[in-house]
Structures are given as C-alpha cells and as structure tokens.
Amino acid sequence: MNGPFFLPVHDIARKPGEMREHNFSVPLKEKWGEGIVVVEAGETVDLEVRLESVHEGILVSGTVESDYIGQCGRCLTDISAPVEVEIQELFAYPGQEETDFEVQDDHVDLETLVRDAVVLSLPFQPVCQPDCLGLDPKTGEKLTESTGTESVAPIDPRWSALQQITDQVGAAESRTAEKEES
C-alpha cells in the first residue's frame, strides 16, 4: 500500500454486499494530459469513491473533481476551469473475468482509471467563452466585438484620427436614433 490512488479492500474483498466509501484528495506529482489544456502538476484531484464488493471483484464508482489550465483555442488567452467526471469500473479478482483492472493483493489502484477519465473529459477545443471571436487575422489582436466599434484595445495612432471620426459619426447616429424614438 503505497500509491496515492491506492484504496484498501482487505476488509471487504470476497464479502459480496460489503461497501466502503472514501473521500480523499491527491496532489498530482505530474501533469495529466498532453493537449492545450492539462491538469497541472501540483493541482489537487478530489475523489468521492464507493467500493462495493461483488462476486467478481470490487466495483468502483464515484466522482472526480479537479481544475484544468491552458489556453483558449481561438484567442490564446490563459484559461482555467473545473473538470468533474464520473467513474465506474469493476476491478476483478485475479483469474476471474477479462478486465482492464484487477484487485491487487489487498488494494485497488485507481490511478489509471481516474487519470484516463479526467484526461478524456478535458475539452478538445477549449474556449475562454462560448462566443470567443478569436484573433484578428490581420493584427493578431483579440477580437472583442463583432462590430469593431467598441474595441478596448489600444488604438494604433495612425488610426486614432479615423477612430475619432467613427466615434463622432457613431455619436451623431445615436443622437439621431434618440430623436427618432422620442
């Protein structure tokens, strides 16, 4: 018994009907995932796990929560978000059914099960917000408004004169609109 995701089963093994619940947290020694978002080393993985003794082995089910970090796939802004995933898997006794997971002596090791579930649940195309407009293909700046009239990014001085005109026109238009409404 010396892995961070090991859980003891000696008290319930081969006693169908017995059940144990474990709530625990594991700080990761290495990052999980290879995509543009990952669960970083040092991040904590929180687990709420139920172990049920069944005839074939130990049925493991529960919830895993952590946080991922990375970059928006459109605008490259740093992002972080929670990840929550359900797990359920039978750890069979050795020599029993063909399964990916086996009860090992007096414990089950959840690491591969939990890591694979978390990594698979990470977004393949993460975005900072659902309607992220990405980067302007010409300037490389992040697009904030589809109209472009309310850009909060610093304006290139060569464009500032034009921006003033645009603002004046915009103000005039809004005054006109107000008049028409009243």
Positions in the binding site for Zn ion (CB under 5 A): 72, 74-75, 77, 128, 132
| Backbone phi and psi for residue 158, each to the nearest 5 degrees, phi listed first | -65, -20
Nearer to Zn ion, 56 or 136 (CB): 136
Nearer to Zn ion, 65 or 67 (CB): 67
Do residues 4 and 90 touch, judged by C-beta distance below 8 A? no
Nearer to Zn ion, 17 or 82 (CB): 82
- To the nearest whole angstrom, how small is the minimum distance from the Cβ of residue 31 to Zn ion? 22
- To the nearest whole angstrom, how small is the minimum distance from the Cβ of residue 126 to Zn ion? 9
Nearer to Zn ion, 17 or 130 (CB): 130
- To the nearest whole angstrom, how small is the minimum distance from the Cβ of residue 134 to Zn ion? 7
- To the nearest whole angstrom, how small is the minimum distance from the Cβ of residue 123 to Zn ion? 12
With a CB cutoff of 8 Å and minimum separation 6, the contacts of 17 are 53
Q: Which DSSP category does 45 fall into?
A: E
Q: How many whole angstroms separate alpha carbon 53 and alpha carbon 155?
A: 66
In whole angstroms, how far apart are CA 89 and each of 45, 83, 114?
Answer: 18, 19, 10
